[in-house]
Amino acid sequence: MSETQNYIQEHKQRFLDELCDLLKIASISADPAYSKEVLSCAEMVAKHLTEAGAEQVEICNTKGYPIVYGEKIIDPKLPTVLIYGHYDVQPPDPLELWESGPFEPVVKTTPLHPEGAVFARGSADDKGQFFMHVKAFEAMIKSHTLPCNVKFIIEGEEEVGSVSLGDWITANKEKLKNDVILISDTHIYSKEQPTVTTGLRGLSYVEVEVEGPNRDLHSGLYGGAVPNPLHVLSRMISQLIDEEGKITIDGFYDNVEEVSPEERVEMNKLKDDPEGFKQSIGLKDTEGERGYTTLERTSIRPTLDANGIWGGYIGEGAKTVIPSKAFAKISMRLVPYQTPEEITEKFSRYFHKIAPKNVTIKVTPHHGGMPYVLPIDTDEYKAAKMAMEKAFGTEVLPYRSGGSIPITSLFEQVLGSKSVLMGFGLDSDAIHSPNEHYGLFNFYKGIESIPYFFQYYAELKK
C-alpha cells in the first residue's frame, strides 16, 4: 500500500472522532437563531484546514455567513484542484422523528451499513463529505505525496441558495484560479455500483398566493356563494400535471435537452431496482412521466412538485371558516437547457392564465439555479472514474443526479472550469430528513479515492 493510503488506515479512528466534533455544531443557515453556531463552525473548519497543512487560511466575511478559504501551492506549474463544500446544514425538524439528537452524533449499524454509519444532521450533507477532502489532503501532506496545488472554499450558505458566494467568486477570480473543481456533495448509485455524478438538475422555486374574499368568512353564512381559495389553489395545482405525467405549463419543454437513445441505453445500464426503490420509501407503486424509467424521471427529465400548501384553520378542533387566502410553495427541477428565469416566467404566466377571474393571484420567485453537465470525454471525468475504480475495485459508471448544486454552473461561468461531482453518499442517507446518516464505508472510501484523483489528474494533465 502507498504511503498515503497507509497514513489514512493508521488515522482512521481519529478522522471519525474529529468529524463527530464538527457534527456537534448546529450550523443551521436557514434559522437566524443559530448564527453563533454557524460562525463557530466556520472557525472550526479553518482550524482543521490549518492543522491539515493549508496556508493562507482565512475566514472571509460576506454579507451573509463567511466562506472559509485555504490553499497549498507547491508549484505554480502544476495543476490546481479547487475543493468546494459547505459547512452549513438544513434545519433538523421534525425533531420528534429523530432516534437520537441531530447534533449528538452516534455510530450505529444498519442492514445497509454493517460497518456502521454516523447519525447526525450534516453527516452526509455535507460535513462528512467535505471533511473527507480535509483528511485526504492531510494524508497527502503528511506523506509528502501531494501532486497538485490545492485551494479550498467551504461555504456556509449552500442550503439557503449560496447567496454570497456568487459575488465573492466574481470578486476573487484571480485568487481562485484553478484547473478543476472537485466537489463531494452528491451520492453514488450503490456501494456495489459506484458512480461519478455527471449531471445535476437546476431549480426554479416559487411561492404562490390565491386571494378570494377580503376577509375570512363564516362558512355557513357565505359558503356556497363564494370562491374558496383553498379549493381554487388545489384545483390549479392539480392542473399543472396531466394524466401522462407531463407538466402543462405553456412552453415548459421548449428547451429541454432530448437525451439521445444511445445515452439512454447507456444510463439505464445502472440496474433500476423498482422493487427495492418502492420498498425503501414504503410505496405500493411509483408514478411519473410516461415513457421514462424511474432513473430517467429522476435525472434527465424536468419535474414539478408542491412542497407545502397552507391556509385556513389547522388548529385543534373545528372552526367553520372560508379563508381569505391560500398559499403554496412549488419547486421545479430543470434539465439542460432550461433556465430558472425562463421557467419561473412561464410558470407565472400560466398560473395567472388558469386562475378563475374571481380570485387574485400572486407569484413570488425564490432563488433558483442552473442545471449542470460534465461530459464523460473529459480528463476531469476520467480522473474521477479511475480514482474511484482504484478505491472500490470495480467498474465506475456515469450517473446524472436529480438534485441541485446551483453554484457548479456559476463556477463554470465565472472561473471557467469544470466541476467533478465525486460524492460518496447514498440516496438512503436521509439528507434533509430525520435520522440523516453517512456510512463509514462511504466516508473511508471517499478519503481513499481523493488522493487517487489528484494523482490521476496530475498524470493526465502532464
Q: How far is the CB of 457 from ligand BES (least distance, A)?
A: 22
Q: Among 20, 67, 120, 203, indicate the residue that binds ligand BES (CB under 6 A).
A: 203
In the set 18, 138, 157, 158, which binds ligand BES (CB under 6 A)? Answer: 158
Neighbours of 423 (CB within 10 A): 26
Residue 123-142 contact track with ligand BES, rule CB under 6 A, x = bound? --xx----------------
At residue 380, φ and ψ (nearest 5 deg) are -60, -50
88 is a catalytic site residue: yes
3-state secondary structure 298-357: CCCCCEEEEEEEECCCCCCCCCCEECCEEEEEEEEEECCCCCHHHHHHHHHHHHHHHCCC
Q: Determine contact, residues 126/158, Cβ cutoff 8 Å.
A: yes
How far is residue 33 CA from its own chain's centroid? 23
The reply to whether 126 belongs to the active site is: no
Q: Is 311 in the site for ligand BES (CB under 6 A)?
A: no
Q: Which does 28 bind (CB under 5 to 8 A by kind): Mn ion, ligand BES, none?
A: none
187 binds, among Mn ion, ligand BES, none (CB under 5 to 8 A by kind): ligand BES
Q: Is 369 in the site for ligand BES (CB under 6 A)?
A: yes
Nearer to Mn ion, 350 or 411 (CB): 411
Is residue 419 at the binding interface for ligand BES, with CB under 6 A as the rule? no
Query: Using CB under 6 A, which of the segments 24-32, 66-74, 402-410, 441-449 binds ligand BES?
Result: 402-410
Report CA-CA distances (Å) from 309 to 56, 156, 180, 209: 47, 29, 41, 10
Among 85, 212, 406, 446, binds ligand BES (CB under 6 A): 406
Q: Which is nearer to ligand BES, 190 or 324 (CB)?
A: 190
CA-wise closest residue to 401 among 232, 118, 203: 203
Among 72, 187, 297, 325, binds ligand BES (CB under 6 A): 187
Residue partners of 400: CB distance under 8 A and separation at least 6: 197, 198, 199, 200, 267, 299, 300, 373
Query: Is the CB of residue 53 less than 8 Å from the CB of residue 73?
Result: no
Residue 398 C-beta: closest distance to ligand BES, Å: 14
Does 92 contact ligand BES by CB under 6 A? Answer: no
Q: How many CB atoms lie within 10 A of CB 376?
A: 15
Instruction: Write out the catalytic residue numbers.
Output: 88, 158
Residues at the site binding ligand BES, with contacts judged by CB under 6 A: 125-126, 158-159, 161, 185-187, 200, 203, 369, 401, 403-406
